Amino acid sequence: MASKMVMCDPCSRLKKSSEGLKYCTDCEDTLCTDCIAIHSAVKLLASHYLVDVSVTTGNTFNIKKDCNDHEGMCYEFYCSDHDCLMCRTCMANTHRTCGKIQPIDVAAKGCRSSAMLEDITKEITELLNSTKKLVVDRQGNKTRVGKEKAKLLKQIAKFRQDINCHLDQLERKLISEVDTIDKTICKKACSDLCESDKRQHDIKDMWQRINFFTEHGSESQLFIHMNTVKSDISKQVSNFQDLVPRLETFDINFEATDLISVINSLGSIKVKSSLCTVSLQHPKHMQAQTREKRQKEPSKFQFERKVEIPSGRITCMIVTNDNNLLLCNDSIGTNNLSLWTETGQHLKSSTAAGRPFGMAIVPGTDEAVVTLINLNSIQFINITSNTPGRQVHIDVSGPLGIAVIRDNIYVGSSKGQVSIINRISGNCLKTLNVGCSFITAINPFIEKTEEQLYCCEYGGENLVSCIKLDGTRVFSCVVNGPMTLALDTNGNSYVTEYNSSNLLRISSDGKKDKIILQNSDRLNSPLAVAFNKTYNKTYISNAHNVMIFNCN
């Protein structure tokens, strides 16, 4: 059967009939030969991107061009400092001081060969592969339930042959119990399979869209789509990580009863479940904390402003991917997690399940994880909405400092140890002996094949220690009450000395370099310290306030 002719849109609006041969992805119009010529002759339209109308069959160029924050405004620019698309209002309101703003058409040049496309393609591919594995795993789970049922029924029948006929009633009761459990588990297995299949379909659709724009879209369209699809990918990653821990694989066992002593039952059906073993190893987890070398390290620190905190004390703060500050307050019961702009404007607050102390971003996701010192637990936090999520009990006494590398969480204890916790199951994989007192901060430093942890031990020997992931000590440096530290890209550590109100820099070889800031610079028993993403701002907490310094 001949395919249906596609009509020219401009001609159709003029009540004429012409066959469309090209499709303008900017105007979103199909054009005939005459309209193509006119379209190319108009200077304003000459730069528009035309493709054969055949490539639009089954596909549409639906790209989100409207700004999320300003209604009626469309994306026109890209800010390299904040890695985001923006409209003219965004540029005027929140990006006036940014130095790397380009029109989208300029920023999009070469994006087909960019690392962003490679990263997004790899991440979607990994998501798709993981959902395929998940579907296979759930299908195997569903099949296993049927096999287990058949196996149990044979065991029951054999056992029934060895007993007297007056136990028929108990046999029917036991078989009925098996059927009931089978229906329940099958229903759950079917539900898991359905959800996994839907997730695979969504990721496959995402993959097809990025592949379509890569092959047929303009670079601007591809660039816009890549930037708008990042949040969808992040949501898929977050949803996937939340889904897998909830999935269970069931085994059903039959335990025979000693009928001589117990005659009121043939036995019991035991249901044994285990967590789904499918995991997502997406590329960002492998690369998120790898840092590029800077030509210089921060040296000059100039006071900018002081931000007052209503109450409590700030024991930890992290800088999110969009350069906001997430603060952890361990001295108040409510609103102990708060989100602020990099200039000190409060955005929103939420309440953790217990007393929070340390906090770290989960690479490649919209999540952070916080230690709850009074509950021996950790809790995941959605960074975008600043809402608490899944809470996991861990076998760590008084958890304090925390870091995340790939699928493992490193948690410092009040006994001088660092425990390696599996992020999915919450199981303790290994314990490293670092000191003998409070491990208040853990910072990872990953450079090519080198992976190290920088730890602060407050009390005990008061050491800042650098260790390898297997526990091998690289160096230790005695500091006057080290509370937290931040790292620059050259491996230098900036340590808050709580007892002497200093910010001390320790070189990458573990030697004290110099005091960067002190009490005369407005430091007063400092706790947390952090750099922003571009290393031109430093944030230091003095219990009830956060001091912001410009640095270069």
- What is the tens place of the pLDDT at every residue in 310-326? 888 999 999 887 788 99
Q: What pLDDT is attached to residue 285?
A: 42
Taking only the tens place, the pLDDT of each residue in 386-408 is 899 999 999 999 999 999 998 89
For 301-551, CATH gives: 2.120.10.30
Hunting for tokens 């997004």 — which residue is that? Answer: 120
| Average pLDDT over every residue of 82-97 | 84
Closest CA to 133 of 250, 2, 280: 280
pLDDT for 125-142, tens place per residue?
A: 888 888 898 899 888 888
Name which of 409, 418, 422 is nearest 437 in CA terms: 418
Q: What percent of the chain has pLDDT over 70?
A: 91
Each residue's pLDDT tens digit, 270-294: 777 666 666 665 454 433 333 444 4
For residue 338, what are the CA distances in angstroms to 9, 304, 327? 52, 21, 5
Residue 291 confidence (pLDDT) = 40
Q: How many CB atoms lie within 10 A of CB 338?
A: 21
Question: How confident is residue 234, by pLDDT bands cut at 50, 70 and 90?
Answer: confident
What's the pLDDT tens digit per position in 322-373? 788 999 999 999 999 999 988 888 999 999 999 999 999 998 788 999 999 9
Cα within 13 Å of Cα(216), Cβ side: 21
Q: Could you tell me what percent of the chain has a pLDDT over 90? A: 39
> Rounded to whole angstroms, what are the CA distances from 400 to 11, 313, 366, 413, 487?
69, 15, 22, 6, 19
Query: Residue 24, SS3?
Result: strand
The whole-number average pLDDT for the span 533-551 is 89
pLDDT number for residue 293: 42
- Please tell me the predicted confidence (pLDDT) of residue 62: 65
- Cβ 127 vs Cβ 232: under 8 Å: no
Amino acid sitting at position 122: K
pLDDT exceeds cutoff 60 at 151: yes
Write down the mean pLDDT value for the chain: 86
Q: Distance between CA atoms of 290 and 275, rounded to whole angstroms?
A: 31
Confidence check: pLDDT of 491 > 80:
yes
The pLDDT of residue 61 is 66
Nearest to 523 by CA among 538, 543, 502, 544: 502
Q: What is the pTM of this model?
A: 0.56
The pLDDT of residue 247? 84
User: What is residue 230's predicted lDDT score, i.e. its pLDDT?
Assistant: 86
| pLDDT exceeds 80 at position 97 | no
Higher per-residue confidence, 47 vs 504: 504
> What's the pLDDT score for residue 159?
77
The full 3-state SS of 411-473, as one line of letters, equals EECCCCEEEEEECCCCCEEEEEECCCCEEEEEEEEEECCEEEEEEEEECCCCEEEEEECCCCE
Answer whether residue 56 shows pLDDT above 60: yes
Spatial distance between the Cα atoms of 354 and 372, rounded to a whole number of angstroms? 5
Question: What's the per-residue H, E or C state across 377-411?
Answer: EEEEEECCCCEEEEEEECCCCCCCCEEEECCEEEE
d(CA 259, CA 265): 8
Q: What is the pLDDT of residues 412-451, one digit of tens each?
A: 999 999 999 988 778 899 999 999 999 999 999 876 567 8
Look up residue 218 and give its two tokens. Answer: 């303009």
Written as one letter, the residue type at 385 is S
Reading the block at residue 536, the tokens are 């031109």
What is the reported pLDDT for 299? Answer: 75
Return the minimum-mean-pLDDT range out of 19-23, 103-107, 281-285, 490-494.
281-285
Average pLDDT over residues 188-208: 88
User: Among 113, 543, 9, which residue's Cα sits nearest to residue 328?
Assistant: 543
Q: Hey, what CATH topology would domain 67-108 get?
A: Double Stranded RNA Binding Domain (3.30.160)
